[in-house]
């Protein structure tokens, strides 16, 4: 195939064009865009509303039934639930090897078949929790009535839905429209009515009724009676009772009817003004930047239409973050590419350098074509995969091109040199690429929360390497056959300068490298001791703790967020006061940090009292958030993490607050410290939770300690009096009448436009605000007599949980915390905590305590990597041993692996960087490159030794010949990574350790490869000679 493509350059050109065009099409139309890839496995959520039910009732009557129904389904792994007043949410994790859509349908069908759920519940909603992700939010705000703001928001939502490609638009924390019918006790007594009577009358007289059909000669005629009331005015005319004198009592005569927003204890503010957020979401197939562009175009148009009372802005533009990060990485890639091309031009003829480099875009376009098939999106991790492989992708082309160049220097014809030079290195180059692929493969099988993050890298690198291998064998020779080595006419021309450099380089090899290698071969053991010494020195920084290992260090973000949780039973106004106070502290920061133009680096401040900014879940929760001008757009030397600390200091201690968490980290899948306490007894679980929280607070750098358990929800427990039982009143009758009066009766749901409006019937607010009103409430007996509630029922007040969490069929409480100092060794902290947890388990044997979150992810990731690296090492050994037909020579190649890490460790020490998970990913990439170079070198030594039978001469000749390509492959990889190593922006900070590991490792790799490989080759040859003299098994060599 090599010769055929070299002769048929049209076929090679067509192959190149097809790859480039198909890759460009995939990039433009088929590749989704995300800031970060999905960090968690597919999860399905079942959400069921159970109006007015307590958390305990929701757990017993809804959550447990759902859990029991779905836990045995094939493909469902962990099952958890959250039960709170009026709402059950059950979560099921889908196994990695299962079709998530099929599991979703199984769960829907299973829930539909459950016949033990209460009749009062709403229809269950089953959906993926990660089906959609946020792109950008529009904020409708102003100094006007909240009803006006919501009306404007609803109109904007409808207009956005009509925009092309916007498939999911949601109003966050939207108050429901409600028609409230309030009837006083006095009116009920005057007209001798019950609330249930009024509800029945409305249902009878205020809805459309189908009355069948008539079959006529002209066809079927449908019979209907139209009487549906859609608003307060239409409802006011509904007849609720006919008097004995023939007069009619209408609803307007006995009730106050309002058509407005239902009351909810949620207040949203944008820069201090009332606001409503409209979220635009993307699915996994859409491009975030494209959607954000559409929304911003609409924003610019809509701002000109709105009156002065209503304003429109955008918030949380994730696409902007993505664009800036992609732009930063793309610039690094361009600069790296230029440096690679310049380096190639210095070592090779410009024509050869150009055709070697042209393999980069071809390989990249081929990878763009394959990424959708592999389920990979364009994101900051996958793009870094391209930068990581930027220098590596030309390695096989360099080896091939340099070898063809050598044949051309021996006056061979272009075609013969292209074919012979390519074939000569085909086997070692292929082996080198395969070993690089195997080195990256373990990242596909990393367990833990960050497996999806790390798997993005091999999903990019491996296709690029495969395409580069194809390009170097089928396309490159067809181009290099046209290269002519003409004599240099002008010494100051580009070609002349290149020739001067090449000559000086060859002189340096003869003058410095050869004598050094000769000394090393004569002093084999001394040389090895020197290498071992350097190895120990390089790793001493790790052993002494100077360079710590941080699994995933904190990553600067463009947003800082604070969350406060209040105890159950706290008045909403108290929560709102705290939220306003924390917002004022953020405003103080906003006024303190101004750039040279007097503009604050804090752009907007958002607060939500009563609901989470990221979630529509109600509760005694307040969140305050502010977004920042990107660091590269201002000159103030402060990061989001530092602002987080300063904001926390300003806030200080807040009286009555159960917990407060301040965070600014981007792309954190889970809390750094997270313990899950499980069991059946909530009292025991709470005790254990408090013990763990107290222990965590004793550590100096542990902060933001909180749990997800809230106790204190007051509950009235009713019990019938003997009189009530005597009069024939049942507990159900009592409960239903109380519920109708104080919560209300949902009579109907009517559709107005695209909104569903509830019609609710209840007592006026002034008659249902206190227990006194409950005592006075008149209860209807079976004989239609009325007696006050106080005579028919006793009650007692108890406190209960506001929320009950369950995990795999047991009640659970999660205790979370963070570290204020990122330099703290989480492993050491975990060791202390594990000892403490064992002691707690002895005291509470019925309670299980497990480490979850980032710490657990660390263990899972490292364990899976450990076995993955072992498996990869075995495969690499086999890949080398089989074609070399030797058991021992793969050891020569693999001996460079540990010593190649000297540069990686040195780079971290030089730049004062801690080791991270990304550092080890860079080392894995380094392994592939150094093994690649070593394989080619050993292959050439074998061939030369077979020809000359002079070991030392063969080693010196081959290493001198291979010096140039080995140095060139290493320098191109380093220069490709240099821009990102030097990049100080927040967009790439967490990727720098990976680049340093590979970049500095590969910078020293040529000297390790070109000295250690020949030394070990000679040493092994001497050992085998001694082994044969002893009569050993000669095939071992």
Residues with Cβ < 8 Å from 599, sequence gap 6 or more? 629
pLDDT of residue 615: 44
- The reported pLDDT for the residue numbered 488 is 52
Q: Determine the CATH number of domain 41-129.
A: 3.30.70.1430
Closest CA to 356 of 972, 803, 795: 972
Q: How confident is the model at residue 30 (pLDDT cuts 50, 70, 90)?
A: confident
N-to-C CA span, the chain: 32
Sign of torsion, CA 38 43 44 47?
Answer: negative
CB 936 within 8 A of CB 427: no
Give residue 618's pLDDT.
Answer: 43
Q: How many alpha carbons fall within 13 Å on the CB side of residue 655?
A: 2
Domain boundaries for CATH 1.20.1640.10 within the chain: 2-30+322-481+494-551+859-1036
Q: Report the pLDDT value the prediction gives residue 1030, as an integer from 0 to 100.
A: 63
Q: Where in the chain is the domain with CATH 3.30.70.1430?
A: 41-129, 556-664
DSSP reduced 3-state for 240: strand
pLDDT at 294: 93
pLDDT of residue 412: 64
Residues of each domain in the chain carrying CATH 3.30.2090.10: 713-804
DSSP letter at 667? S
- Beta strands 786-788 and 778-780: pairing type? antiparallel
pLDDT of amino acid 668: 54
- What is the rounded (10 degree) CA torsion for 316, 319, 322, 328? -100
DSSP code string of 326-393: HHHHHHHHHHHHHHHHHHHHHHS-HHHHHHHHTHHHHHHHHHHHHTTTTT--BSHHHHHHHHHHHTGG
511 to each of 483, 506, 753, 959, 1030, how far by Cα in Å?
Answer: 30, 9, 86, 14, 40
Supply φ then ψ for residue 743, to 5 degrees: -90, -45
Do 994 and 911 form a contact (C-beta atoms < 8 A)?
no
| Backbone φ/ψ region at 610: left (φ over 0), alpha (ψ -120 to 50), beta | left
The residues that bridge with 36 in the sheet, in sequence order, are: none
Structure tokens at 342: 């310049």
Q: What is the pLDDT of residue 340?
A: 75
pLDDT band at residue 415 under the 50/70/90 scheme: confident
Enumerate the H helices of 237-304 as residue ranges: 251-254, 288-303
CA distance 773 to 158: 43
Q: Using pLDDT thresholds of 50, 70 and 90, give the confidence band for residue 1021.
A: confident
CB crowding 588-598: b at 16 or more within 10 Å, else e: ebbeebeeeee
Task: Read off the pLDDT of each residue in 324-349 and give the average, rounded to a whole number.
Answer: 74
* Residue 378: closest CA among 16, 28, 17: 28
Q: What pLDDT is attached to residue 377? A: 86
For the chain, the average pLDDT equals 84
296 CB-contact burial (10 Å; exposed 0-12 / middle 13-18 / buried 19+): middle
What's the mean pLDDT in 235-254? 88
Question: Looking at domain 2-30+322-481+494-551+859-1036, which of 1.10.10.10, 1.20.1640.10, 3.40.50.970, 3.30.200.20 is its CATH number?
Answer: 1.20.1640.10
Nearest Cα to Cα of residue 13 among 471, 483, 463, 481: 471
Q: Which residue has the higher pLDDT, 585 or 490?
A: 585
SS3 of residue 750 by DSSP:
strand
Dist. CA 676–CA 849, nearest whole Å: 6
Q: Which two tokens stand for residue 26?
A: 């995939």
Burial class (CB in 10 A: 0-12, 13-18, 19+), 573: exposed
Phi, psi (5° rounding) for residue 46? -110, 120
Reference 1008, options 930, 942, 950; nearest CA is: 930
Residue 559 banded pLDDT, cuts 50, 70, 90 = confident
How far apart are the C-alpha atoms of 982 and 998, rounded to whole Å? 14
Query: How deeply is 114 buried, as exposed, middle or buried, from its count of CB atoms within 10 A (0-12, 13-18, 19+)?
Result: middle
Cα distance between residue 487 and residue 503, in whole Å: 14
Task: Please give the pLDDT value at position 940.
Answer: 85
Kindly report which listed range (277-281, 773-777, 808-812, 912-916) carries the lowest average pLDDT score: 912-916
Q: In sequence order, what DSSP letters do the residues of 65-88 get, joined into one string?
A: HHHHHHTTSTTEEEEEEEEETTEE
Query: DSSP states of 880-948 as a string?
Result: HHHHHT-SSHHHHHHTHHHHHHHHHHHHHHHTT--EEHHHHHHHHHHHHHHHHHHHHHHHHHHHHHHHH
> What is the three-class DSSP state of 27?
helix
DSSP-derived 3-state class of residue 282:
strand
Integer angstrom CA distances of residue 566 from 578, 656, 686, 709:
10, 7, 17, 11
713-804 in CATH: which number?
3.30.2090.10
Q: Read off the tokens for 622.
A: 């307040």
Instruction: Please compute the mean of the pLDDT values over residues 667-674 and round it to a whole number.
Output: 66
| Percent with pLDDT over 70 in the chain | 91
3-state secondary structure of 803: strand
Q: Smallest Cα–Cα separation from 904: which of 450, 556, 534, 545?
A: 534
pLDDT tens digits for range 422-479: 888 888 888 888 888 988 888 888 776 667 778 888 899 999 999 989 988 888 888 8
Would the pLDDT of 613 be above 50? no
User: What is the reported pLDDT for 48?
Assistant: 94
259 SS3 class: strand
So what's the pLDDT on residue 730? 92
- How far apart, in whole angstroms, are the C-alpha atoms of residue 351 and residue 533? 43
Domain 556-664 belongs in CATH node 3.30.420.10: no
pLDDT band at 243 (very low <50, low <70, confident <90, very high): confident
Alpha-carbon span 152 to 779, nearest angstrom: 43
The predicted-structure confidence for 194-239, as pLDDT tens digits, reads as follows 999 999 989 888 887 777 788 777 778 887 777 888 888 888 888 8
Tens digit of pLDDT for each residue in 122-146?
Answer: 889 998 887 788 889 999 999 888 8
- Among residues 183, 191, 181, 192, the alpha carbon closest in space to that of 780 is found at 192
pLDDT at residue 1036, rounded to an integer = 47
């Amino acid at each position: 195939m090599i010769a055929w493509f070299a002769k048929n350059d049209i076929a090679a050109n067509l192959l190149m064009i097809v790859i480039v065009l198909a890759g460009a099409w995939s990039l433009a139309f088929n590749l989704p865009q995300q800031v970060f890839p999905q960090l968690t496995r597919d999860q399905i959520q079942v959400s069921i509303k159970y109006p007015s039910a307590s958390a305990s009732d929701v757990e017993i009557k809804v959550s447990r039934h759902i859990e029991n129904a779905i836990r045995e389904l094939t493909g469902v792994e962990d099952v958890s639930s959250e039960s709170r007043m009026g709402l059950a949410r059950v979560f099921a994790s889908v196994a990695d090897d299962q079709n998530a859509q099929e599991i979703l349908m199984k769960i829907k069908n299973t829930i539909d078949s459950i016949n033990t759920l209460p009749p009062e519940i709403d229809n269950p909603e089953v959906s993926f929790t990660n089906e959609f992700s946020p792109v950008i939010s529009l904020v409708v705000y102003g100094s006007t009535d909240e009803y006006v703001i919501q009306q404007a928001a609803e109109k904007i939502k409808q207009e956005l839905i009509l925009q092309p490609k916007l498939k999911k638009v949601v109003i966050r924390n939207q108050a429901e429209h409600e028609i409230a019918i309030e009837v006083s006790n006095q009116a009920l007594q005057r007209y001798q009515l019950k609330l249930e009577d009024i509800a029945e009358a409305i249902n009878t007289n205020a809805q459309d009724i189908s009355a069948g059909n008539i079959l006529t000669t002209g066809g079927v005629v449908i019979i209907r009676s139209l009487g549906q009331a859609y608003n307060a005015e239409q409802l006011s005319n509904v007849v609720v009772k006919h008097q004995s004198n023939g007069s009619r009592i209408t609803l307007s005569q006995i009730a106050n009817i309002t058509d407005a927003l239902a009351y909810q204890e949620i207040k949203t503010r944008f820069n201090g003004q009332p606001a409503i957020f409209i979220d635009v979401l993307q699915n996994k197939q859409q491009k975030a930047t494209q959607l954000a562009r559409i929304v911003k175009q609409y924003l610019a148009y809509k701002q000109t239409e709105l009156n002065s009372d209503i304003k429109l802005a955008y918030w949380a533009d994730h696409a902007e973050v993505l664009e800036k990060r992609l732009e930063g990485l793309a610039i690094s890639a361009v600069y790296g590419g230029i440096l690679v091309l310049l380096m190639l031009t210095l070592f090779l003829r410009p024509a050869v350098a150009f055709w070697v480099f042209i393999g980069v875009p071809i390989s990249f376009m081929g990878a763009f074509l394959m990424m959708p098939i592999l389920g990979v999106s364009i994101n900051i991790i996958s793009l870094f995969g391209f930068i990581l492989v930027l220098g590596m992708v030309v390695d096989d082309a360099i080896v091939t091109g340099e070898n063809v160049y050598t044949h051309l220097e021996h006056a061979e014809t272009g075609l013969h040199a292209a074919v012979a030079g390519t074939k000569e290195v085909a086997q070692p180059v292929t082996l080198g690429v395969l070993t690089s692929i195997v080195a990256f493969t373990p990242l596909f099988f990393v367990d833990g929360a960050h497996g999806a993050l790390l798997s993005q890298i091999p999903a990019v690198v491996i296709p690029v390497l495969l395409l580069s291998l194809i390009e170097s064998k089928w396309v490159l020779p067809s181009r290099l056959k046209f290269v002519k080595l003409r004599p240099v006419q002008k010494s100051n021309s580009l070609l002349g300068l290149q020739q001067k450099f090449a000559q000086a380089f060859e002189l340096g090899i003869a003058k410095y490298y050869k004598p050094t290698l000769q000394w090393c071969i004569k002093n084999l053991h001394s040389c090895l001791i020197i290498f071992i010494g350097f190895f120990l020195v390089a790793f001493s920084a790790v052993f002494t703790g100077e360079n710590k290992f941080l699994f995933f260090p904190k990553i600067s973000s463009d947003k800082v967020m604070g969350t406060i949780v209040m105890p159950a039973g706290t008045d909403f106004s108290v929560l709102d006061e705290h939220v306003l106070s924390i917002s004022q502290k953020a405003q103080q920061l906003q006024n303190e940090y101004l750039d040279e133009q007097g503009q604050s680096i804090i752009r907007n401040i958002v607060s939500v009292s009563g609901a989470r900014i990221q979630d529509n879940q109600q509760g005694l929760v307040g969140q305050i958030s502010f977004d920042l001008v990107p660091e590269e757009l201002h000159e103030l030397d402060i990061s989001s993490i530092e602002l987080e600390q300063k904001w926390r200091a300003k806030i200080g201690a807040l009286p009555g607050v159960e917990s407060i968490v301040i965070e600014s980290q981007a792309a954190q899948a889970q809390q750094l410290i997270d313990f899950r306490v499980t069991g059946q007894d909530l009292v025991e679980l709470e005790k254990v939770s408090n013990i763990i929280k107290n222990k965590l607070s004793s550590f100096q750098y542990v902060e933001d300690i909180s749990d997800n358990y809230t106790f204190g929800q007051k509950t009235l427990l009713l019990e019938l009096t003997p009189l009530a039982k005597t009069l024939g009143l049942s507990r159900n009758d009592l409960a239903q009448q109380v519920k109708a009066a104080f919560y209300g009766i949902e009579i109907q749901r009517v559709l107005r436009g695209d909104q569903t409006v509830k019609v609710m019937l209840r007592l006026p607010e002034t008659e249902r605000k206190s227990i006194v009103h409950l005592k006075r409430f008149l209860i209807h007996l079976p004989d239609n007599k009325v007696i006050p509630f106080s005579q028919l029922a006793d009650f007692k007040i108890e406190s209960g949980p506001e929320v009950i969490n369950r995990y795999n069929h047991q009640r659970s409480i999660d205790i979370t915390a963070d570290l204020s100092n990122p330099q703290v060794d989480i492993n050491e902290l975990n060791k202390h905590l594990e000892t403490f947890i064992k002691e707690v388990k002895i005291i509470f044997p019925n309670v299980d305590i497990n480490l979850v979150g980032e710490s657990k992810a660390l263990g899972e990731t490292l364990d899976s990597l450990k076995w993955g690296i072992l498996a990869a090492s075995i495969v690499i050994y086999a890949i080398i041993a089989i074609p070399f037909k030797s058991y021992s020579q793969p050891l020569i190649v693999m001996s460079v692996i540990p010593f190649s890490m000297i540069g990686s460790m040195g780079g971290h020490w030089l730049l004062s960087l801690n080791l991270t998970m990304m550092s080890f990913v860079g080392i894995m990439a380094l392994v592939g490159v150094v093994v690649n170079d070593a394989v080619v070198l050993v292959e050439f030594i074998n061939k030369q030794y077979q020809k000359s039978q002079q070991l030392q001469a063969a080693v010196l000749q081959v290493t001198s010949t291979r010096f140039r390509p080995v140095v060139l492959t290493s320098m191109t990889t380093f220069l490709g990574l240099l821009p990102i190593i030097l990049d100080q922006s927040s967009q790439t900070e967490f990727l720098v350790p990976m680049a340093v590991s590979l970049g500095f490792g590969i910078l020293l790799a040529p000297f390790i490869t070109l000295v250690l490989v020949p030394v070990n080759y000679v040493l092994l040859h001497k050992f085998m000679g001694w082994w044969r003299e002893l009569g050993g098994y000669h095939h071992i060599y």
